[in-house]
Amino acid sequence: METIEQLKVHYQWRLEEEENLRKLSEFGAKYQQEWIGRLYSYLANFPDTSKYLPNEQVRERHNDKLKKWFVALFAAAHDAEYLRRLYRIGEVHVQIGLPPHYVSASMNFTRQFIYDKLAHEPNLPIALDQAVASVNKILDLNLDVMTGSFREEELKFYLASGRIQRLMIETMRRGLWLVDLFIIAAFAVAGLFLMLWIGYEMVLVATGKTTLEHGAIMIMGSVLILYAISELLNEEIRHLRGAALGLKVFIAVALAAVIRKILILSLEPGRTTELIVLAGLTISLAATHWLIIHAESRTAPFK
């Protein structure tokens, strides 16, 4: 937490700023009521304003504190006590759960309001550019301190739970990495077994233990599954390298399995009902595959 002296150094605060703002103290008192009214009209556009100002009693208390804050911009001694009050305001904002965006937006509204009034004030005690420069510094300092309370609260939470969270995330990341490695190994082993199975089917055809027609269909179906496993293996490797997981690959594997089943059943008599069901399933999977490809092509960036 910075001291008021440190903040003044950071914002290049000079004695001239104090003098300029003190000369504008009557300006602050003159426009405080108009500023309050216009600020509340502005805040009414925010969807959750009623959540933070739920009733007339809270609104009146808030109204009174806002007036004091606005007048203090110009009339207060900008010392350690002033800084303490700003920190207290920020702490209250954190306690009630006020989003920092509301504070920043309100400060911007206040800045524009003061600019407009200064530009049309007929009897400014100082030059307009000097007034604007000093107002900018005091508003920036206020915004810095108030939003600093949010940062400090987030830092406290991070220090309290950050180590545990980081440990959990790292453990989960390593666990998922091991799962991905296991999946790749499982696909590789399945592919190896399938290659051996295809070789076995070829031996059956060569030795005449199965008909050429039936053997050819079986081999075609097995090769189709092997191709699908190869695609899954490639997709999982890409995912391990950081790419997004493509759903269309899984649909393609399901299609390959269904087509293999259709090829096998087509050689067996009396399986018409099953073939019709599998044909409908094939059409559904094909349509899903097309929709996924179509959606990915629409969301892909133009090259």
pLDDT at site 154 = 58
> Looking at the structure, do residues 188 and 102 belong to the same domain, yes or no?
no
pLDDT at site 65 = 92
- Residue 242 — left, alpha, or beta (φ > 0 → left; ψ -120 to 50 → alpha)? left
> Looking at the structure, do residues 269 and 125 belong to the same domain, yes or no?
no
Residue 255 tokens, joined: 């299609």
> Looking at the structure, do residues 26 and 146 belong to the same domain, yes or no?
yes
The last residue of a domain, from among 145, 162, 179: 162
Closest C-alpha among 235, 94, 92, 199 to residue 153 = 94
Angle at CA of residue 94, ends 96 and 100, nearest 5°:
105
> Looking at the structure, do residues 189 and 276 belong to the same domain, yes or no?
yes
pLDDT at site 169 = 67
Q: Is 286 exposed, middle or buried (0-12, 13-18, 19+ CB in 10 A)?
A: middle
pLDDT digits (tens, 9 = 90+) for 146-199: 887 676 665 565 545 556 666 776 788 788 878 888 888 888 898 899 899 989
> Looking at the structure, do residues 180 and 293 belong to the same domain, yes or no?
yes
Per-10-residue mean pLDDT, the chain, length 303: 84 90 91 93 86 86 92 88 87 81 92 94 90 94 84 58 66 81 86 90 87 82 82 77 67 80 76 84 84 68 40
> Looking at the structure, do residues 34 and 146 belong to the same domain, yes or no?
yes
The last residue of a domain, from among 121, 139, 162: 162
pLDDT at site 225 = 81
Residue 122 vs residues 27, 118, 126, 139: alpha-carbon distances, Å: 11, 9, 11, 23
> Looking at the structure, do residues 10 and 157 belong to the same domain, yes or no?
yes
Residue 197 tokens, joined: 């199975």
> Structural domain of residue 18, as residue ranges?
4-162
Q: Which amino acid is at 232?
A: L
> Looking at the structure, do residues 8 and 157 belong to the same domain, yes or no?
yes
> Looking at the structure, do residues 153 and 26 belong to the same domain, yes or no?
yes
> Looking at the structure, do residues 191 and 142 belong to the same domain, yes or no?
no
> Looking at the structure, do residues 27 and 110 belong to the same domain, yes or no?
yes
CATH of the domain at 142: 1.10.490.10
H runs (alpha helix) in 76-127: 80-96, 100-120
Closest C-alpha among 266, 269, 270 to residue 278 = 266
pLDDT at site 83 = 87
The last residue of a domain, from among 162, 193, 223: 162
> Looking at the structure, do residues 75 and 124 belong to the same domain, yes or no?
yes
Q: How many domains does the chain have?
A: 2
Give the span between the Cα atoms of 34 and 120, in whole angstroms: 15
Cβ atoms of 281 and 260 closer than 8 Å: no
